[in-house]
Amino acid sequence: MIAHVVERALEAAVGPVTVATESEEIAEIATNAGATACLTERDHRCGTDRIGEALDKIDPAGRYDAVVNLQGDQPFLEPQTIRSALALFTDDDVDIATLAAPASEKEAGDPNAVKLVGSLCAPGRLRALYFTRAPAPYGEGPRYKHIGLYAFRRRVLERFVELPPSALELRENLEQLRALEAGMRIDAALLDKAAPSVDTGRDLEDLRRNGRAETRVKA
């Protein structure tokens, strides 16, 4: 899984690739796959907090003004989808960029598939209003599955990691709610179809049985 995610990140070619982990075993896998590795503390509340520690260690001079957090459950994201999230930073009002795709009926009711509730602010782009594990929003119309990638402006990431976990973050176990509760703006590029994520052991079995799915960015 880690090697596949590293490969996707390297293919995107948007900057150096580092795996932040508390595990020496994972660090070795990342290095063998072509990334660098940064060992971090074990007790981080969420992955974004871990990324914040790693950024301080690998770039103390502040050379990079944006950071992409590609999570380890996303082994099949296409390079252009990673770049499409970063492209949202052409809007100066966007603090955090991410991805979403239409949710299937099964995903809409699955708490492991996080739903993004948002408003269409431009063609192929949503402004996030909320994230939830519940089948939301209520009523007729599309629901969107959130895809586990975050692109942060550096100053936003540094602010995020200084904040305590928020009430809704703890309730839903979704770190992005900390950002929304703090007033940060999150926009999502819409994909026609989400690549499969691996959230459970059953997901891994399904992928091995059915093979790889492709994604395309909406025009």
Percentage of the chain modeled with pLDDT above 90: 49
Strand ranges inside 58-160, DSSP E: 66-70, 96-102, 115-122, 125-132, 144-153
Exposed e or buried b for every residue in 107-138, given b needs 16+ CB within 10 A?
A: bbebeebbbbbbeeeeeebbbbebbbeebebe
Per-domain boundaries in the chain: 65-210
pTM for the full model?
0.84
pLDDT at residue number 62: 87
Among residues 51, 54, 18, the alpha carbon closest in space to that of 150 is found at 51
CATH code matching the domain that covers 65-210, chosen among 3.90.550.10, 3.90.1150.180, 1.10.3720.10, 3.90.79.10: 3.90.550.10
37-96 tens-digit pLDDT = 888 888 887 888 888 889 989 898 889 999 998 877 777 788 888 888 999 999 999 999
pLDDT at residue number 218: 46
Average pLDDT over residues 157-173: 94
Yes or no: say if 197 and 102 are a contact pair by the CB < 8 Å rule: no
